[in-house]
A and B are shown apart, each in its own frame.
Chain A
Amino acid sequence: MTNRPRLRKLNKFLLWFILLSTFGVGGGILFLLFGVVPIEQSYTDRGWSQYRIDNVMKYYVLGWVVFGFIVSFVYYRFVVRKERWKTAIVLMLSSIALCGFSLHFFLNTGAGLVQQSQGEVVEGERFTFGPYPEKGDMERIKAQGYDGIITLLSPTLPIEKPLLDKERKNAEAVGMDVFSYPMLPWVGDNTDSIEQIRELVANSDKKYYVHCYLGRHRVDIVKQVINEEGGLDYDVMFLQPTTFERGNTYYLPEDQLLLGPYPTDEEWFTRIKRAEVEEVITLLPNDKTKWIDGAQQVAQEMNMTFTHMPLNSDFTKGDLLEIVNYVKQQDHKIFLHRFASKDEILALEALLSWGEAIMHPRDLTINDKPLENVGAKVLIGSEPSEQVEKRLKEAGVNTFRMIGRNASKKTIYQTLLNVKQQKQTAYIYVEVQSAIPRIKQMLYGLLYGNDGKNPAFDGLALTRGSVYNHERNLIVGPVLSKAEYESLAMEHGFAQIIYLHSASVTDTSQLQAIKEQAEHAHIPLHVIDMSEGYESELIDQIEQENGLNYVMTDDELVEYINEFINGY
């Protein structure tokens, strides 16, 4: 080394500075890959929050900087200052070699050691987040249908610029677009890039692969932007409709089957497509060409299978069974329709849900008087003669029940509920003709809710509040008083009461009292706790029951539930 003091001083400074910078960069890269990343991962695995990890990691980074200065100080104090030139140069060259080695690994992202430190690929519908992609990765990304790559590498960082150049070159060779939104991997002003990404997310529906270097830190910021821009994901819930403009619909969840009339243009979209129907079966006779063609066209436009199974008005049980067999063989959701919800639809509904149907019930008479029918499941009339009984059996009646002159409301309700629970087509005969309308009302309630929305429920005032009339088979109201179980629930044939129990309003003793009252009246009660996810349980429960559902809740929550159901 030189004897001139100033030059000697400069040499000492250069040795110290080169060691400090090369050790800082080289060691820093290795510390990041093999120190910081595994430590951070271990904290993540322990369930620490990102806030806590960030707070702790600050001290590791600070510790590294202090360590770098201590090393360089020791080097200067004990080697350079004592003019041990050989040792000084060897150590400096070693540090340069360490720096070169680290940079080589950093730039060679496919190396196994680097891959160990890289974040996992997180795939989403439009955005996939991951580490730096090599050419082979790009080819795979392109084959998977991605439209472009969003790179967050910053050309202002000397160690990332060559990576960015290489990426652009590779992307050009592969034929992919690269969108560069440079971000700094530490606290800095990334506002412009974040804004540009926000615009890209909002104004495009393309699919992108987003990456920084390791796919850990900067991509997390972009995830936030995408979450903000994309909004929150809400589960789309749908309550099966029970009435269309041209008649009632009936949903059989076990067969994934919706039966009903010919939908209007709006209903095709809002009620059929939205219900995720995959096949439309038209029962219209062959001469209704215009309507058949219309249904076929709509089905094609909405990407649903179209099937035509013509059914004439003098249909037989055999004709219906053919349709039933076809439907039973399918494993997707079907909408089956006629022009209006008439006898064919009701007979099919009975066959599918009870395995039996009373054929053409409107044509059946006793002493030339037509019998009252509730769908194709129950007939009501006077006591049948043996000859009539035989005729009724031939028409499909399975069981006969008598309701006596002095039968109480509770007894009648229980008898009818039993018919429903047994799933047996029935002939109910009465001693007193005047009882028929009441029995018919109860039966309608139990089996179909009502023939259309029942105006009797509109704004009906009960002891604890008003009732809201929603659907043919759905009303919402307050907790029933003891008397209302008989005057309302039995009278209108409630098929079930769904009690939405709110722990913040009703305690366990009140809940027990409700259970006891329902049990005493023999009205099926289903209790749903209003905790997270109760909505889907409620919808399932309503859809299981074509009869009248009374959604009962605590008085102060009736409006709340009413609005919730209105939202469907």
Chain B
Amino acid sequence: MKKRLIPLVFVFILSLPFLIWAFIPKTTMDIAIVDKTVPRTDYREHLGLFQILWQQKLVKPNGENYDLGNDYFGYDPYEQAPLPPYNVGDQNLDLIYISDTYGVYSDDIEEKPDGDRSELIYGGMSLEEWNAVMASKGPDTTLIAEYNTFASPTDRKMSRVIQQNLGVTWTGWIGRFFEDFTSDEVPAWLVANYEEQYETPWPFTDSGIAFVHDDDHIIIVETDIMPQFKPTERGSARFEKLRSSSYGYWFDVVTPARNQAILANYHLNVSDQTVKELKRSGLSQTFPAVLHDEKEDIFYFAGDYADYPNRAHMNWVGSTFMFQVFAKDERAFYWRSYVPLMQHILTDIQERNG
């Protein structure tokens, strides 16, 4: 009899984290999410955020879970058509999250994209939408905007208005670390522009960081170390669980326009010579990654932070700790930096708005 019980006890112990999680009460939080870059049904540009909402048991005001395929403003990958524009009526929002406005391009919906710049189907932030976003931001609403809220294909004049509202000034540079400069990950347009600019065939075969300016100017920095995401003193004091990590996806180079607090920086591990070369193009070795306007409660994340490729099953107690311990490569950023950052922010919102 005892022998028969052992497996049951074992199963029970294994199930405990799930059972405890199941009994944690749900909390309502009214959130509006904008994601215009949804060419496929993986919803990867906002999946990273939704996973945290599910894990934290944050639900809609009607008590239902946030639906990854429904509860956002942007593009419907099933219908291949835009969803209704941003409109939240008279709701008292707790959080507005702009995860991506880059949009959907004809190449994105091909079975085998060629990586070249293709025709825009839908994307960019229009003035009307941005007005609706700002009109819906009350005094107790936190606004979080990520990389590419104001970059291409958003109109330049519109971009200036958005930057003013967010309190950041974009230098015009974006960048990304590539593990292998010969892989399919490197966009064809990047290689073509480089070859045209430097009048030489693409010479890079290792890893490095590609910087691309709004005017298509390109700088390649060869390094095998990803940009390091590092909390500042202020950031660590405010968010004690926020950890340093390597960041391996797209980012933009911005400076604070008002008295924003810089909560985290990117740091490039490059030679002094490279630092000098970067400086000639207006780039520096360390630049802001997370900015916070405390008066307006507006965060700017200078990267594609909510982007997560596949669903991680984290609906159990202790999951974030375990994922943090075992996360490696580019996923380490998500677990060690983004998840704690968002958990802190969401907890702050809950405490503030009751």
Q: Which residues of A are interface residues toward B (Cβ below 8 A)? A: 47-52, 54, 191, 220, 223-225, 227-228, 231-232, 502-505, 529-534, 556-557, 559-560, 563
Q: State in angstroms the CA–CA spacing of A50 and B68 once bound together.
A: 10
Decide: B129 and A532 in contact? CB cutoff 8 A. yes
In the complex formed, the residue of A with least CB distance to B65 is A52
Q: State in angstroms the CA–CA spacing of A224 and B41 once bound together.
A: 13
Q: List 23 A-B contacts (CB under 8 A).
A: A49-B68, A49-B71, A51-B41, A51-B68, A52-B69, A220-B78, A223-B80, A228-B109, A503-B132, A504-B127, A504-B131, A504-B133, A504-B134, A504-B161, A504-B165, A529-B135, A530-B127, A532-B85, A532-B86, A532-B129, A534-B128, A556-B160, A560-B155
Decide: A502 and B43 in contact? CB cutoff 8 A. no
In the complex formed, the residue of B with least CB distance to A535 is B128
Decide: A502 and B161 in contact? CB cutoff 8 A. yes
Decide: A232 and B122 in contact? CB cutoff 8 A. yes
Decide: B70 and A228 in contact? CB cutoff 8 A. no
For B43-84 the 0/1 string (1 means CB < 8 A from A) is: 100000000000000000000000111110000001111100
Decide: A502 and B70 in contact? CB cutoff 8 A. no
* Chain B residues within an 8 Å CB radius of A223: 79-80
B345 at the interface (CB under 8 A from A): no
In the complex formed, the residue of A with least CB distance to B81 is A227
Query: How far is the CB of A236 from the nearest CB of chain B, in Å?
Result: 18
Pick the contact of A530 from B79, B131, B155 — CB < 8 Å?
A: B131
Decide: A50 and B80 in contact? CB cutoff 8 A. no
* Chain A residues within an 8 Å CB radius of B129: 532
Q: Which of B60-119 contact A (CB under 8 A)?
A: 67-71, 78-82, 85-87, 106, 109, 111
Q: Which residues of B are interface residues toward A (Cβ below 8 A)? A: 41, 43, 67-71, 78-82, 85-87, 106, 109, 111, 121-122, 127-135, 155, 157-158, 160-162, 164-165
* Chain B residues within an 8 Å CB radius of A503: 131-132, 134-135
Query: How far is the CB of A228 from the nearest CB of chain B, in Å?
Result: 5
Decide: B130 and A52 in contact? CB cutoff 8 A. no
Pick the contact of A227 from B80, B162, B164 — CB < 8 Å?
A: B80
Q: State in angstroms the CA–CA spacing of A48 and B130 once bound together.
A: 27
Pick the contact of A502 from B81, B82, B86, B131 — CB < 8 Å?
A: B131
* Chain B residues within an 8 Å CB radius of A534: 128
* Chain A residues within an 8 Å CB radius of B135: 503-504, 529, 531
Q: State in angstroms the CA–CA spacing of A370 and B103 once bound together.
A: 64
Decide: A48 and B106 in contact? CB cutoff 8 A. no
Q: State in angstroms the CA–CA spacing of A545 and B70 once bound together.
A: 43
In the complex formed, the residue of A with least CB distance to B165 is A504
In the complex formed, the residue of B with least CB distance to A189 is B111
* Chain B residues within an 8 Å CB radius of A556: 157, 160-161, 164
Decide: B121 and A502 in contact? CB cutoff 8 A. no
Pick the contact of A191 from B68, B111, B130 — CB < 8 Å?
A: B111
**Which 8 interchain pairs have the tightest Cβ spacing?**
A49-B69, A51-B69, A49-B70, A504-B134, A503-B135, A224-B80, A50-B78, A503-B131
In the complex formed, the residue of B with least CB distance to A553 is B127
* Chain B residues within an 8 Å CB radius of A557: 127, 157, 161
